[in-house]
Chain A
Amino acid sequence: MNPVATPFFFYGLSAIAVLSAIAVIMRRNPVHSAIALIFTLLSLAGLYLMLYAPFVAGVQIILYVGGIVVLFLFVIMLINIDRMQREYQFNKQWLVGLLAAAVLGALFVAVYVKGQSIFPHNAVRFPEYRVLRLWRSRPYII
């Protein structure tokens, strides 16, 4: 049983993940950032499901969305967000930070473009389903 519409789901989930990650770092209200972080984590759980890692996807949803983001929301509730929404959102060395991140991105692009031979090019394999037949029982698919 091959999965259907794999590129559609991959590009959709990746777009949701990256766009809501950008929303995490661009929003003024930290509550909006936490909500966007939830969307990033859920779409990453979908990508884990596409990579045949259902346990990691479940742990991602339970631990991250159910634990860490709730912790963030509690802390946002405890601190005073009215004052920090009024002041300037970026720090004094933001230009240097942006430049350093751009250099890091250029490094990634250079590695991925020039060093493509070191990366595996085969498509993601489908797991082979093995049928486990216990003694006198129905066959289980594992």
Chain B
Amino acid sequence: MTDTPTALGRLGRLMVDRPLLPLIGLLILLIAVLAILNPGVLSLFWASNTLKIAIPLAMLAACQTLTMLTGGIDLSVGTAATIAAYLTATLAPLIGVPPAVAVALLSAVLIGLINGFGIAICRVHPLIMTLGTALIATGCLLVYQRYVIATGVLIPDALLWLGTGRTLGLPNSLALFIPFAALVIWGQRRSGFGRLLYAIGANEAAARLSGVRVWQVHFTLYTLSSLIAGVTGLLYLGQIKTASLSLALPLDLPSVAAAVIGGTSIFGGRGGYGGTIVGALILTVLTSMLTLMQIPEGGRRILFGLIILAVTALFIRLTERS
């Protein structure tokens, strides 16, 4: 396509070079459609609410982005987040807030260590391993729940502030999310660990032959992923304000969708967290749009699925052209 670049070819080239631009364009388009459908819905309040809802999804999608860069996936993030939230809420009245948070995060890390052991050392497929640990962990949570049913629930004030509070019209959760996102983006672009993720995803055999200890990277990666999920669970607890046994589980598959829409390849080696954040925003705006359109639940799910598919297909079609 070097001699006469067509309009589509140019768009494709643009999407390869600057994958964020078309995604932001899509986001603006969705917001415009929303504004046309419901004039007057757009406001600072709406924007801050959308951000607030999108942040936990974007954080869980960080786990997917990082694991997908190596060609893996982590389907235990919803469970890890739920467990961290539930443990914090139920242990806080018993042992105080800081120990409860520590136990919660340690449990999430434990899930990650088991994932890491299976994937890095036994070389189980990440999809199977993380689904399996999610199943076991959910079982443990159900058993645990029966012992604490009478103790009551306490949601730490700091988490409430973080989850639901606003400062200057903006959600306080940004105070956690902006440093987090900056760290992840810096980590994947500039740090050695981030480059190793891309190297393993692009060609694992080549990475191994270049002296990368692939198993150590996988082990660290899945532990890190669960830790992020645990922190997200704490934030989500402050936002939802109830301790439920299926708190963050509905976010599992959308977190994968957010990373995929954001242009991260599920086969590894391509993508980044910037796109994922926009992907999470797109999904959140889309959900609120479908809710406002008063379509029955079934119809909403159908549209949600079709739009994810269409966006991904378009993205792949356009980037392959150039």
Partners in one complex: no
